[in-house]
Amino acid sequence: MKKRILVICSLVLASMILVACSPTEGPSERQDAALATPTPPPPRPPATPTPDPTPEIPTLPPEAPEDGHGEYSLVGNWDWMGIPYFTFHADGTGVRGIGLSFNWTTEGDLLLICGTPDECHGNCPAPEEWFFEIFGEHLLLESAHAIELVFDLTAGTTTIEAAIPAVFDGSSTASHDLVGEWNWQGTLYYVFNADGTGIRGGYILNLTINRTTEDGVLIICDTPDECGNTCIAPERWNYSISGNEMVLDNTHIPGMSFTYTRR
């Protein structure tokens, strides 16, 4: 009996030893399991890029019916640097600057301008050629011949009036108080001779002019603007002389004033 109990106790003890010695999942094994590479999720479909907003492109006004004078959208007044510079009329005539008349037309995107002095003999041997674009209230003119000669004009409200032609036939008076040499900003600019002729731009530019006066207004004509003894587009200046100082105020453009001193 004692022997049987001893055998049973030995079997129980052996079982306990086997259980104690068998491997179990300790902290290191749990850590390794946590560091195991997980199964990657299925790939996502590529994101669709959001397109950039379409830039706003200025639109031109609708084209007018062909009337022989080009784009009606040119018709009107245009300023350059805040000063009235162009007036285009619907009949193909126009005025620019200080009253210089011209005729105009278009061929596609090309603007053709011919000053009326060039048409003295019924033709225009060398019209100006400008590529033009209109964007809203902006008129962009780019010379077809001179590199990088570009003007950005804006729609204006002032209509430029054409200069009144002047006749230099000796019947008008040429005020003698103007006779002499006049400096502008320290440099010779005008030479007025007693016979009504003169020079503008000093002896460097040496632009020949004719001049006369009417009712306190100085009328100046560059000789290329003459047709016979008539000046197509003369300049008109209100003038006043005090001592050795002369002030010229343009009759077409308010605020255009120059002061000269006698040499």
> What tens digit of pLDDT does each residue of 228-254 get?
667 777 888 999 999 999 999 988 777
Q: Are residues 79 and 98 in the same domain?
A: yes
Q: Which residues pair with 238 in a beta bridge?
A: 217, 249
Task: Please name the amino acid found at residue 120.
Answer: C
Q: Please, what's the largest Cα pairwise distance for the chain?
A: 168
pTM: 0.50
Give the span between the Cα atoms of 177 and 245, in whole angstroms.
11
Q: Which residues pair with 151 in a beta bridge?
A: 141
Question: What is the total count of domains within the chain?
Answer: 2
140: nearest Cα among 154, 156, 127: 154
Q: Are residues 103 and 149 in the same domain?
A: yes
**pLDDT value at residue 76:** 92
**pLDDT value at residue 54:** 41
Q: Are 73 and 133 in contact (CB under 8 A)?
A: no
Region 130-149: mean pLDDT is: 90
Q: What is the residue range of 107's domain?
A: 72-155
Which domain-ending residue is among 121, 155, 189?
A: 155
